[in-house]
Amino acid sequence: MDLAECKGIYVIAEQFEGKLRDVSFELLGQARILADTIGDEVGAILIGKDVKPLAQELIAHGAHKVYVYDDAKLEHYTTTAYSKVICDFFEEEKPNVFLVGATNIGRDLGPRVANTLKTGLTADCTQLSVDDDGKTIVWTRPALGGNIMAEIICKDNRPQMGTVRPHVFKKPEADPNATGEVIEKEVKLSDADFLTRFVELIKMGGEGVKIEDADIIVSGGRGMNGEEPFATGILKECADALGGAVGASRAAVDAGWISALHQVGQTGKTVAPKIYIACAISGAIQHLAGMSGSDCIIAINKDEDAPIFKVCDYGIVGDVYKVLPMLTAAIKKRKASHKLPDCA
C-alpha cells in the first residue's frame, strides 16, 4: 500500500437510539487539532437507521465530510455487519486515521476492523499528538498498571487506529454556522455478514444519574469501610442533595460495597464532572487516570499526606464521617433558602 494515498482523519461516530454519544464530538475536537497539524481534513462515518439527520451535528462539531450508511439492517449494532461497513469504507476512501470511542461498542468494533485491515490499534488512549515527521499519530496510553505512559506509533500500516476513552477530552462547542458535505453511501451487506441476530435490548444501571453523565460525583474509597455509605448513607445523601451520582474507587468495588458500574479509574469509567468529591480516597495513579479531567476536585481524607491532596483544588484533612454530613447539611440549608448556585 502506498501510504501517501491515505488521507483524512475520520471519527467512527457512535449513536444510540437516534442520539449521538458525546464521545463522537470529543473525538472530532481532537481530530481537528491533529488535522490542523498534519494539514489534513476531518471526516466522520455515521452508521444506523434513519441517522442522516444527525450528520449536521457532526459538521457543527468539526467534521468537513460525513459519510452516511443509513439502512434498516443497521438499526442495531452487530460486530460483523458494522465492521464490514467500515472496512468497505477504507477500501473505497483510503483514510489515514480512524478514531474510535473506547465504549462497549468501540472496544468490540475497533479490534475487528484493525484485524481485518491488518493494521495496528492502540487501546484506551488518553492523549493524541503528531510525531516529529509531521504525519504519524502518537497514541499515548497508560501501561504497567498505570505506572508509565506508553507512546505508540504505527508507521508502516494504514489506517492508523486507536480507541479513546470518553471524557478524556473536552467536547468542543458546536458551531451552528459550520458547513460541510454529507455523502450517502451504499450499504453492501448480505445475510452472511450478520452472524448474530438482535433479539432484545436490556438496559442496565438502575435508577439515578449515571456517573459518566453526571455534573457532580461524590466518590468513596477503601476508607468508607462498608456498603452502607454508598447505598443509603453519607455518600448517597450528599450526592442526592447535589443532584449528582455516587462513584467509587476500585478498592470499594472489589470489596463488594458497590457495583462496578460506579467505578472510576483506569479499569473503570473515565469521568469529567464539574465537581468531583473524593471521600476517603488516597489518590492512587490508577484512580486519578479516571477523574483528573474534573473541573473542580474536592478531597476529604484524614491522611494529610494522601496523594489526592496534590491534585485537588480544595482539600479537607479530617474524618469523612464528620466532614461529609456537615457539608451535606450546609448544602441542604442553602438549597432551602434558594441561595445555592446552579451547578448544571
Task: Classify residue 79 by burial, with Cβ atoms within 10 Å: 0-12, 13-18, 19+.
Answer: middle
Instruction: Report the pLDDT value the prediction gives residue 69, as an integer from 0 to 100.
Output: 96
Q: Look at the domain 3-193 and name its fold.
A: Rossmann fold (3.40.50)
d(CA 245, CA 235): 9
Task: Classify residue 17 by burial, with Cβ atoms within 10 Å: 0-12, 13-18, 19+.
Answer: exposed
The segment(s) of the chain belonging to CATH 3.40.50.620 are 3-193
Question: Which three three-digit cell numbers place residue 87?
Answer: 472496512
Instruction: Report the pLDDT value the prediction gives residue 254, as an integer from 0 to 100.
Output: 94
The segment(s) of the chain belonging to CATH 3.40.50.1220 are 211-336
Q: 148 to each of 167, 191, 289, how far by Cα in Å? A: 21, 45, 12
User: In CATH terms, is domain 211-336 a member of 3.50.50.60?
Assistant: no
Instruction: Report the pLDDT value the prediction gives residue 205, as an integer from 0 to 100.
Output: 55
Model pTM?
A: 0.77
Instruction: Report the pLDDT value the prediction gives residue 343, as an integer from 0 to 100.
Output: 53
Instruction: Report the pLDDT value the prediction gives residue 344, as an integer from 0 to 100.
Output: 47
Residue ranges of the chain with per-residue pLDDT less than 70: 145-146, 203-209, 338-344
